[in-house]
Structure 1
């Protein structure tokens, strides 16, 4: 499993990022300060650093990490948006993302850095679910009974990919909608329900009795492992 070193002292942001990345298949080592960063980085494949930290700031930590672990990709994650801050960070870091950010953007930046450094991003392996073979990173879903590709629309694949990243977990309508559409869910909106119905028509052997995308009454949906 790909291990990420994440240094962030803000508990709310830290928990949000850690939970999202773990849901995407990463193992996250979350530190609240950078004193032990160089030691802990030995077991990790990428470092994500906040700039404003107690004690050593993210720039200092990043420079030390790059010196001690030259091959470790470093991503700066900061509310400091001035060009001087970005240039200072990019003097040693591989990427610089400003807050606020969308979780999908952060995940995409991480994947790019891992590929650039010869690492396989989380979730890159093939996944078998019932009669389906899913190659998430290739955007491919195949019916293993006849080896035929199942063609999904962009939004349908985005929804199914979200379920794959949270395999076995019950996800609420709000969580799914806000991740896929990137905007708040409005109670009573039938958009997600319609997309789930069309998705089942393509993926399920019997859409009237779904075994891939389960409805958890009163809560949301789940795709079992």
Structure 2
């Protein structure tokens, strides 16, 4: 099924929100209070650092952001592509269109162009695919939930502490070549947009333009969908304080 990408949509990737890093909560409040006016909100995964559908404590520590997102989704369309930090979310967000990893990339249309959206952990090596299948398994998560509750939430607390210390803004050497090996000749589209790698780079592959978004966790960057006579789709980079043009390489 193809979905429409709207002019003026906000696209956000890799906010890695937690009770330790709260910038994304301020962003959601600004939308709720109409200080920011997206026509549509596209969330490309890893929006939360730890939000697992079967682990109750992850809902508890993220409750305020969850509630605001649910309020926003009653007023504008919100599309949420699950990441590797936030998954099994459909029951948490009843009014949001949630796409799990098996449903990605998600096809969207903008100005008669075909746009594919992904969090970024599709087309990954076998070992990673096995890992992601295990962490999303409902039985595994139910056991994790049980142990976490028995031991004063120590598992999620330690995970949060570890993730909060990660550097989300590292430039990956050889990134363009890696993407070519990973995606070349596998998809037919005009634009392929994803997050996950936090690189804020765009380049032309053989059949489409590839865009890897910056992480919101790095300087609170998000992107606004605009029309462009030259390329059809333009992602204008913005922050809470300063707008600047999305830079292509």
Q: Same fold (TM over 0.5)?
A: no
Rg comparison, structure with higher value: 1
Q: TM-score scaled by structure 2?
A: 0.27
The structure with higher relative contact order (CA 8 Å, sep 6+) is 2
More helix by share: 1
Q: TM-score scaled by structure 1?
A: 0.29
